[in-house]
Chains A and B, each alone.
Chain A
Amino acid sequence: MATIWVYAEIGTEGPAGSALELLTKARTLGGDVAAVALGPGATASAGPLAEHGATTVYASDEPVYGEVVGRAAAHALGELARQHRPAMIWFPTSHEGRDVAGRLQAITGSTLMSNASDVVALDRAVTQIYGDSHVVEVALEGPEPRLVLVRPKSFVAEPTGGTATVVPVEVEVPDDLRTPRRVERHEEAASGPKLEEARVVISGGRGLQEQANFALLDRLAEAIGGAAVGATRAVVDAGWVPYSQQVGQTGKTVKPDVYLAVGISGATQHVVGMKGSRRIVAINKDPQAPIFALADLGVVGDALSLVPRLIDEIARRKAAG
């Protein structure tokens, strides 16, 4: 029977949310569903992976998969795919997902579709382009396995309570493939609530003009209370804030109750990370900015004068009780 595999990223707290989302969707397409989990914690992740739809979990706890970025996992997946011949392999759109899928494509010689927003059949997927203004349906042809990178939060994870057969992965990773190596990990302290969990996200773009003005957003977040601060890629690239605050295609995907876009024009890169927000407020000087097409409330004006007035007014009302 046709089989869909899901590449499950494993973190320190078990399988990534993306793996559970993808398994939930995969089990609706009518084939067998397996998960592939590589690296420390893989075997222990079989429980949640099974609960979300995997009937087989290919697992290896070997540290090499965590130490060697992308290459070792791509090699192992290539071997597993050769032995078991899945019809498709799904990956999360993350750095690791891209590293593994990109290499695997060159190993298997099969097609790879990025940025999918849905998979509708074993040979058909959907993406959205140009700030998500157009929906594109794509036929996937050529040799199997067809590879698909799916955008985060395209599906909602729902457990069904199944169990899985755990199959140990016994692939030898040759020495010459054990490079590049991850030699250090650094966490850059982020203050305040997590972007993905906050009820309110306030993000800034180039329209804030300079790094010093970004502090206005931190103050507004504090005034509102429980709000997280995000940024566009342009702002992260300029070094104003760390990458951990980036919202968008190559950053985080957020779906808060309220998203406040400040000085953000609305490039595709950014929009795909925030368009699922429940309510969107945009502040921009340019009435033609594409972000206004997404906004429930669009404010044409200068953020540098509006934001301080917002902060003062919220503080005044709180003081008045």
Chain B
Amino acid sequence: MDVVVLVKYVPDPAGTPKIGEDLLVQREGTDGSLDPGDEYAVEAGLQVVEAHGGEVTLVSMGPEVAMGAVRKGLSMGAHQGTLVTDPALRGADTLATARVLAAAIGRRPFDLLLTGVESTDGYSGTLPMAVAELLGVPALTFARRIEVEAGAVRVERQTDLGYDVLEGRLPALVSVTGSAAEPRYATLKGIMASKTKPVEQLALADLGLSPADVTPAQRVLSVTPAAVKGPGEIVEGDAAVERILAFLAEAKVI
């Protein structure tokens, strides 16, 4: 079972990302990590190969610092990684990103392609479907549970009312929610081993793509602070219960 997992390096999810003078998110010179949403996909991939044999390959796109996200996944137990880095990719939009990732993944056959549902910094939530389309494979999205057997994959997809069961033939893409797998912690042994696992670093030209294939078709015109409503009332201590009740009574809900 050849499993590929897409991973992204994102600015520290607990901090506030900085926007540079070019109106793009600053990704270098700031704290960052493997996207927490991708950790679920890495974990799901590791569980699949533990049950069925095979290897997990991580694929990422980003600046040099994005190697940190690949190493993190390797320290959890993934076997090897690919990072596509190219100055032409700065400010890449979802279509450019999908083209690059699909080209990197498509160089070798795979059985299962796993992703998170959306990134923690961009929240677009459409990249997995675009990559699946470019690779010509089915996409089983928003999965909270995955079963792989005999060349097919079956997932429970979260819905507004409960869940649906989807079935598709492999190779296929599956995007996983946080309910699919609880990510393991990297052990010290895993962290040491990750330093020597193979990671290939590719540029755009290595994938047969030109800068014209990745020209962004979205341009940020302005970033302005939203109108903030005045600070609300803050209470603490024993007065709080009484104040909440008064507030609910004013709103006529009790």
Q: Which residues of A contact B (CB under 8 A)?
A: 69-71, 74, 93, 95, 98-99, 101-103, 105-107, 109-115, 124, 128-130, 132-143, 149, 179-188, 199-200, 224-227, 233-234, 236-239, 242-244, 249-250, 252, 257-258, 268-269, 278-281, 283, 287, 292-301, 306, 309-310, 313-314, 317
Query: Which A residue's beta carbon lies closest to that of B240?
Result: A299
Interface string of B219-254 (1 = CB under 8 A from A): 111111110110111111100110111011001011
Which one of A297, A300, A310 lies within 8 Å of B241 (CB-CB)?
Answer: A310
Pairwise interchain contact A179-B169, C-beta atoms closer than 8 A: yes
User: Is residue B196 contacting chain A, with contact meaning CB distance below 8 A?
Assistant: no
Which one of B164, B226, B244 lies within 8 Å of A184 (CB-CB)?
Answer: B164
> Which A residues touch B98, using CB under 8 A?
105-106
B-side interface size class: 35 or more
Pairwise interchain contact B224-A103, C-beta atoms closer than 8 A: no
Q: Which stretch of B58-66, B76-84, B128-136 is in the interface? A: B128-136
> Which B residues touch A99, using CB under 8 A?
129, 139, 141
> Which A residues touch B223, using CB under 8 A?
129, 134-136
Which one of B133, B160, B167, B178 lies within 8 Å of A180 (CB-CB)?
Answer: B167
Pairwise interchain contact A134-B226, C-beta atoms closer than 8 A: yes
User: Is residue B194 contacting chain A, with contact meaning CB distance below 8 A?
Assistant: no
Q: Quick one: given A71-B138, A188-B161, A292-B232, are A299 and B244 in contact (CB under 8 Å)? A: yes
> Which B residues touch A182, using CB under 8 A?
157, 164-166
Pairwise interchain contact A296-B232, C-beta atoms closer than 8 A: yes
> Which A residues touch B254, using CB under 8 A?
224-225, 314, 317
Pairwise interchain contact B217-A299, C-beta atoms closer than 8 A: no
Within 8 A of A (CB), among B153-210: 157-169, 172, 177-179
Pairwise interchain contact A309-B251, C-beta atoms closer than 8 A: no
Pairwise interchain contact A103-B160, C-beta atoms closer than 8 A: no
CA distance A200 to B249 in the complex (A): 12
Within 8 A of A (CB), among B38-70: 40
CB distance from B223 to the nearest CB of A (A): 5
User: Is residue B211 contacting chain A, with contact meaning CB distance below 8 A?
Assistant: no
Pairwise interchain contact B157-A114, C-beta atoms closer than 8 A: no
User: Is residue B142 contacting chain A, with contact meaning CB distance below 8 A?
Assistant: yes
CA distance A58 to B96 in the complex (A): 30
Q: Which stretch of B1-9, B27-35, B106-114, B116-124 is in the interface? A: B116-124
User: Is residue B85 contacting chain A, with contact meaning CB distance below 8 A?
Assistant: no
Q: Quick one: given A134-B226, A135-B226, A281-B244, are A185 and B164 in contact (CB under 8 Å)? A: yes
> Which A residues touch B94, using CB under 8 A?
105, 112, 114
User: Is residue B93 contacting chain A, with contact meaning CB distance below 8 A?
Assistant: yes
CA distance A151 to B227 in the complex (A): 19
Pairwise interchain contact B139-A180, C-beta atoms closer than 8 A: yes
List 8 additional contacts besides A111-B95, A114-B125; criterion CB under 8 Å.
A106-B95, A129-B223, A185-B162, A226-B253, A249-B125, A252-B160, A281-B247, A292-B232
Q: Quick one: given A137-B221, A139-B219, are A300 and B123 in contact (CB under 8 Å)? A: no
Pairwise interchain contact A244-B160, C-beta atoms closer than 8 A: yes
> Which B residues touch A95, using CB under 8 A?
141-142, 157-159
